[in-house]
Chain A
């Protein structure tokens, strides 16, 4: 099998991983000849699914001894198999990078022989890129479940980011669909990475020249919609991970039908808008001071699909409004539907010099249609009288057509709501 055939199989097998970020490493490694990391990631292309191509996202191999039902590479699937050599991955990465096709490498793998052996192979790729090729670009390694802590530590020396997939939101979901993966083991692995990151940081703070360890932190991915687990449970799990493991990102991947699927899985994807709502809710928890329990108001414990979670919260908490744009605190401003965190910063800055009118808000490009019924501005705002009306939802919601313009890929990046 030639490299092109392997690439087709092993890129195809990796496409279900949602993670695409290449940001977070603030400075390029010294001594690099090709490649740089300067904080912001770059999307080098976009595929017709609307997702960006930032990293060469491949599996080292899609042979796997595990049998996770939601995964196309599980041992019992008939999918065609291939395996790259370490040299092949190194060469592909360098050649793609030099032509500016990619921002870096995202390498994952099916488990061959055992966890440690597989992890060693991934490390060999990263190490060879750094040491032999003087490569300074981005590397994201997926750590293999149950690999030895010493191997994780070595991986972190060469990689910018490490990730451990939580896979499914609850222990029960794991038992059902990934019987060989256990939540405590997954969380332990994250804990191991976290403590090493903390250790490196504190050593550097104390003035020691500690070697780099995963400077872009760690992330994880959760598959949404393969089981019945409601959004509230998903968000609680995410919240635990953000707080407990200091993850940089939790990716939500709407379960998508896979070839050679197991018959116990749903044949249909959940609506993509659900994934989008989860990203919005995720953003509300991280940057807007919301709690998971506040965001999910519906009795079925799921986010509303027809409106964004901040708007839904506002409708359910009208006593909180109206909020005075020119007097309210940052925390209060952050709760206004249609006004994002960046605009809150701008509002706070502008109002030191002048009182904001509704025309100013429109210039800032807030989602005025949503915000208008909830704010007091320097001029009179006639929309305020709608605040207590029962049809407020229809008065302030975007048309359904517009709703689809919001897209998961962009919300994964910005999440502004």
Chain B
């Protein structure tokens, strides 16, 4: 009986090579690990034969190197038996993955490579000191197998520009931005202290968790509980789980907006008269509760031009017609300068109710409250848009003009910038020739007189191009 005590892959390889050349059968070798004492009945000294060269498949060497890191002391004899069989009439043995020896070797290899993978994942460096430019990082990790040699090169490639050490109970390794040095293992008590950055990391971990899906078994399978002590984020898990169901309930409770659009209020037959009538009863958004009335579009069904504003203002809300206030006056002037007869075109708004806030008036001669225009939000625009679409489907205009950015962004998309693309015809789903120009109210609000005149000219020019 031969006895071999080896503690590393290289030692095993040397011994195995010697034994194989001496033709020693696997059943005649007793392999022990450094931790295990050699048996008292140590008999034959290993024959010292000059090793003749022989080759083994590369896949076997790779397999053996990984299996060598496994903790199971049976690994050395299993490897030797497999080597023996490979060289004694079973050259394709490794391809028969259902063979008992090959099967166990593969299981061991899988356990080791999983452990390597988990070490790459779960090592957590802590910054310990900073001397000048160089940063020093230390991690304490407890792998299942003796894999420090297998994984250290990976960390050296990944953290090339850092000084770091990884400490494990069996072995430790240090990188000084030039070479790897291996040392003895250290106990958990030598693990580095907390790193201030861990608070940020925990914040991230807690925020990325979606309480609407809880899969604890899955988490534990992939992140085994035995690694949790060295993972700063793991301390949060009990609390996150505890709060999950309550968080989901609040999420579901917190609805916003409204479920319907103007589509629910459409008349059966679609013409301008039936639409105007039906729109008076529209409750698709909340604006109807405060406004005086629905202000529908004005103009003939055979109009070739349609102008779309944002929403009715204070005067429009009271009178029930679009563009009848100060902005409407400016629009009328611009239209006549452009040679367009207002009675021949169709004028409407993207939102058909007036949206406002009330403010105590500061003027001494007027009593009561003033209604201040508020921009409609996208929800309200979305809810109201079917009315405009219905109007356009009846009229089928040759040209469609958006007055101001609200209708322009609703029809061209959010990216649209009126300052950039004003006056340009662009095809949209509603009209081949769609264009945006200034809203008359924007011109009225422009404080700079020179700029105001310029905008007014541009409005006229744009209308003239129709």
Contacts and interface: CB of A to CB of B under 8 A. Distances in A.
Interface string B212-240: 11111111001100000001010001001
Nearest to B244: A48
A354 B160 contact: no
Contact of B210 (A51, A67, A96): A51
Given A53-B205, A364-B98, A44 B122 contact: yes
Contacts of B120: 42
Interface string A67-98: 10000001111100000000000001001101
Nearest to A103: B121
Contacts of A38: 154, 157
Interface string A339-370: 00000001001101110100010011000000
A278 B59 CA distance: 36
B256 A260 contact: yes
Interface in B251-271: 251-252, 254-259
Interface in A25-74: 28, 32-36, 38, 42-53, 56-57, 65-67, 74
B215 A407 contact: yes
A405 interface: yes
A11 interface: yes
A259 B161 contact: no
Interface in B302-334: none
Interface stretch (A2-10, A299-307, A389-397): A2-10
Contacts of B72: none
B56 interface: no
B121 A42 contact: yes
Interface residues of B, number: 73
A34 B96 contact: no
A254 B210 CA distance: 12
Contacts of A179: 382
A187 interface: no
Interface string B112-151: 0000010011111111000000010101000000000000
A100 B415 contact: no
Given A33-B160, A76-B377, A45 B218 contact: no
Contacts of B414: 65-67, 75, 111, 180
A294 interface: no
Contacts of A14: 208
A258 interface: yes
A46 B218 CA distance: 9
A225 to B, nearest CB: 12
Interface string B170-209: 0000000000000000000000000101011101111111
Given A35-B158, A45-B233, A12 B215 contact: no
Nearest to A185: B413
B313 to A, nearest CB: 23
A46 B223 contact: yes
B252 A11 contact: no
Q: What size tier do the contact residues of chain A reach?
A: 35 or more
A100 B341 CA distance: 71
A261 B200 contact: no
Contacts of A258: 251
Contacts of B97: 346, 349-350, 363-364
A75 B217 CA distance: 37
B95 A15 contact: no
A128 B96 CA distance: 51
B250 A34 contact: no
Interface string B79-100: 0000000000000100111100
A33 B161 contact: yes
B51 interface: no
A262 B257 contact: yes
Nearest to A406: B218
Given A7-B204, A36-B158, A269-B213, A77 B256 contact: yes
A354 B250 CA distance: 61
Given A45-B205, A99-B125, A256 B223 contact: no
A289 interface: no
Contact of B208 (A53, A254, A259): A53
B290 interface: no
A410 interface: yes
Contacts of B161: 33-34, 134
A267 B204 CA distance: 26
Interface in A257-271: 257-264, 267-269
A67 B206 CA distance: 27
Contacts of A134: 161
A186 interface: no
Nearest to B218: A50
A115 interface: yes
Contacts of B127: 98-99
Contact of A263 (B158, B208, B256): B256
A57 B379 CA distance: 29
Given A8-B207, A48-B216, A409-B218, 12 more contacts: A11-B203, A12-B208, A49-B211, A51-B213, A66-B414, A67-B379, A75-B378, A76-B257, A96-B204, A264-B257, A349-B95, A410-B222
29 contacts: A7-B204, A11-B203, A15-B207, A15-B208, A15-B209, A28-B157, A32-B160, A34-B161, A36-B157, A42-B121, A43-B222, A45-B121, A48-B219, A48-B240, A49-B213, A50-B214, A75-B377, A76-B257, A76-B378, A96-B200, A99-B125, A99-B195, A254-B213, A263-B258, A346-B97, A350-B96, A360-B98, A364-B98, A410-B218
- The 7 A-B pairs with the shortest beta carbon distances in the complex, nearest first, are A50-B215, A33-B161, A50-B218, A11-B207, A263-B259, A47-B209, A67-B378
